[in-house]
Amino acid sequence: MALHQISSSSSSSSSMVLLSRSSATPLQPCASLLPGGDRWSSSFSSLSVFSKKNKMKNLEMNKRRRTNFVTRSSLETPVEVVVGQVTEVNKDTFWPLVNASGDKVVVLDMYTQWCGPCKVIAPKYKELSEKHLDVVFLKLDCNQENKALAKELGLRVVPTFKILKDSKVVKEVTGAKLDDLVFAIETAKSS
């Protein structure tokens, strides 16, 4: 993989170097690497850079349409679903994994790291994944990086569990209600 410096800038508050792959495609997004421990993120349609002062700059890059997907996250890290385990997803890997699941039931746990009820139900959600081996269990940290996907899925409260079948949301459970979640999974499996 060849990376080329396409621009560089520095100021008294931060410095940044943008790197591009030699043949950037929708499956190979560009990334921004910030020295000094600053955050970076990448996506297919825009690149968000967060400086040390939390100022966000949007740089429009690689405006190609997403056509073919390989289930990969940023910087070509493959993501695979393991039966009996919960798989962490993000804005780049969620829909490709859901689409690859075909007619299987997919359960998505939408949580935040600061949410108390989310922390309480997490071990029980993991147990459900070990029990229902014919269901794909995913979890999405609804942080700033995944905010657009959370909004697209209609997140209003955390935790929220979305049950999908054939790439469509068929059930929703809000709150840490294990019995309601189990009932929703069983209902989706039987339909």
Query: Structural domains in the chain?
Result: 3-60 (no CATH), 72-190 (3.40.30.10)
Q: What is the pLDDT of residue 77?
A: 55
> Per residue in 39-72, pLDDT tens?
333 333 333 334 333 333 333 333 322 222 334 4
**Nearest of 63, 32, 34, 37 to residue 47 by alpha carbon:** 32
> Is 60 or 77 the better-scoring residue by pLDDT?
77
Q: Tokens 């979640």 belong to which residue?
A: 181
Arithmetic mean of pLDDT, 24-47:
36
Buried residues in 136-168 as b, exposed as e (16+ CB within 10 A): bbbbbbbeebbeebbeebebeebbbbbbbbeee
State the Cα–Cα distance between residues 186 and 83, nearest whole angstrom.
17
- pTM of the full predicted structure? 0.61
Mean pLDDT, all residues of the chain: 72
The residues carrying an active-site annotation are 115, 118
> Is 105 or 56 the better-scoring residue by pLDDT?
105
Neighbours of 55 (CB within 10 A): 10
